[in-house]
């Protein structure tokens, strides 16, 4: 028995066949060597069940669990970032780990953005803050990436539509600018080719470059255009970037979409699609009709080698759908609003490093976060308070919470 499945290549939907087990393409390859050796060799190629491409997640919103009732999180660790020379990280926009250091992009409205370099104890080693229009300076940072080979940093100045290259000591090395007037909002370094995938961001489309992405070389010359813009995959809606790099594959969640796409070698295909068990209204439909029931918006995701967390608001209630990619398991959790400000959600996921999930916290909500993640054991909070010697004041507003997810508790799909 065969089924038809849709695949998106470079934004064009085509059809292909799958068998009843879901294996894409033929699972048996007959490699005939009769003319060469007079032998017939059958090579059986099994379905690759470890891939998650073209995978569909069915979200049962009405059966979402409370985070505090799941006992899903383990091994909680808190790192208070040192309060040095008045530096406070206002907005943990992005964190990348290289060797033993964490590089944090702060978009908290201070001089066009900064990069903090801290170690695994929270000690600040360096701060990159070069606002201006001179050599090695920027007007407004939007994104950055790091070379896994030499640790060079590639920073996006979206006001000037350029990429600035610095070494690990924050010394300026090079300026890269596309040779066309294409918006530069995010950058993903593709190694070892040293090419850069540039996301154009949300806004007006350009007739001459009507694509979500361009690929440029180190001289700024375009080598490819990827993911054509169409009516559905519009860029007219604002919002934060929804792009993650997993090894050298780029995963992208467009505005208004419940599908994450993967981009590799210039080819776009479905990665993961999230379906809801009841009809939901897109935010742009809400704007047109003002129907307040089942409105979904503020969708975003983070992804690591083995994990995806899909984040969204449904009827103003924050949710997390956590996916274990290798086991193809998932669970949906109800998040809670941040008690320190009465806005946003208390569990603010930032990134994955290996199997550790990083959350953003402050000294006003960190206790609530730990109580949600580990309601039966708050020793980590008490130990931190007792060992600081200076009560909670030492924490200021700069805290990272590291935790792990116990996937044996995830609901099977």
Tell me, rounded to whole angstroms, the distance of Cα 324 from its chain centroid: 15
User: Does the predicted model carry a pTM greater than 0.75?
Assistant: yes
Q: Which two tokens stand for residue 233?
A: 């995959």
CATH numbers and ranges of domains, the chain = 1-49 (no CATH), 50-409 (2.120.10.30)
**Measured distance CA(196)–CA(218) in Å, rounded:** 8
- Which residue in this structure is represented by tokens 């070379």? 147
Q: What pLDDT does residue 174 have?
A: 95
Q: Are 70 and 409 in contact (CB under 8 A)?
A: yes
Q: What pLDDT does residue 310 have?
A: 92
Count CA atoms closer than 13 A to 398's CA, side-chain side: 20
Q: What pLDDT does residue 397 have?
A: 60
SS3 label, residue 43: strand
DSSP letter assigned to residue 203 = S
Q: Which two tokens stand for residue 166?
A: 């610095």
Question: By C-alpha distance, which of 356, 332, 143 is closest to 240?
Answer: 143
Q: What pLDDT does residue 13 have?
A: 29
For each successive 10 residues of the chain (413 residues), what is the average pLDDT? 32 30 34 29 29 81 83 85 74 89 85 90 92 92 93 94 95 93 87 88 63 90 84 48 82 84 88 87 62 74 89 86 87 82 77 88 79 73 56 60 80 45
Q: What pLDDT does residue 44 have?
A: 25
b/e burial code for range 191-227 (CB count within 10 A of at least 16 → b) = eeeebbbbbbbbeeeeeebebbbbbbeeebeeeebbb
SS3 label, residue 121: coil
Cα dihedral: 308, 312, 317, 319 (round 10): -10
Q: Give Rg (Cα) of the chain.
A: 23
Q: Which two tokens stand for residue 21?
A: 């087990």
């Amino acid at each position: 028995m065969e089924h038809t499945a849709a695949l998106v290549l470079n934004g064009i939907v085509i059809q292909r066949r799958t068998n009843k087990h879901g294996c894409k393409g033929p699972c048996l390859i007959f490699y005939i060597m009769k003319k060469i050796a007079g032998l017939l060799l059958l090579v059986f190629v099994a379905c690759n069940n470890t891939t998650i491409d073209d995978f569909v997640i069915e979200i049962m919103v009405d059966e979402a669990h409370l985070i505090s009732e799941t006992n899903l999180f383990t091994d909680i660790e808190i790192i208070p970032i040192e309060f040095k020379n008045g530096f406070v990280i206002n907005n943990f926009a992005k964190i990348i780990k290289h060797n033993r250091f964490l590089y944090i992009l702060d978009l908290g409205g201070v001089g066009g953005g900064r990069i903090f370099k801290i170690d695994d104890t929270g000690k600040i080693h360096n701060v990159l803050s070069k606002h201006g229009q001179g050599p090695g300076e920027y007007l407004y940072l939007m994104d950055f990436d790091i070379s896994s080979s030499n640790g060079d940093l590639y920073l996006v100045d979206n006001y000037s539509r350029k990429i600035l290259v610095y070494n690990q000591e924050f010394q300026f090395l090079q300026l890269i600018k596309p040779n066309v007037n294409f918006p530069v909002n995010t950058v993903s370094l593709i190694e070892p080719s040293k090419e850069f995938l540039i996301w154009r961001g949300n806004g007006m489309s350009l007739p001459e470059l009507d694509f979500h992405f361009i690929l440029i070389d180190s001289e700024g010359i375009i080598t490819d255009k990827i993911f054509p813009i169409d009516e559905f995959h519009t860029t007219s809606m604002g919002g934060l970037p929804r792009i993650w790099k997993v090894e050298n594959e780029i995963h992208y969640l467009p505005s208004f979409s419940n599908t994450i796409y993967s981009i590799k070698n210039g080819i776009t295909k479905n990665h993961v699609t999230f379906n809801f068990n009841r009809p939901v209204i897109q935010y742009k439909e809400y704007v047109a009709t003002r129907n307040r029931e089942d409105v979904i918006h503020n969708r975003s995701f983070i992804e690591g080698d083995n994990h995806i967390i899909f984040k969204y608001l449904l009827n103003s209630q924050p949710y997390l759908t956590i996916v274990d990619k290798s086991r193809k398991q998932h669970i949906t959790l109800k998040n809670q609003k941040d008690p320190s400000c009465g806005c946003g959600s208390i569990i603010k996921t930032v990134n994955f490093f290996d199997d550790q999930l990083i959350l953003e916290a402050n000294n006003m909500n960190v206790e609530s976060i730990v109580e949600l993640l580990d309601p039966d054991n708050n020793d980590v909070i008490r130990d931190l308070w007792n060992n600081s010697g200076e009560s909670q004041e030492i924490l200021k507003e700069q805290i990272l919470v590291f935790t792990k997810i116990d996937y044996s508790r995830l609901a099977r799909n």
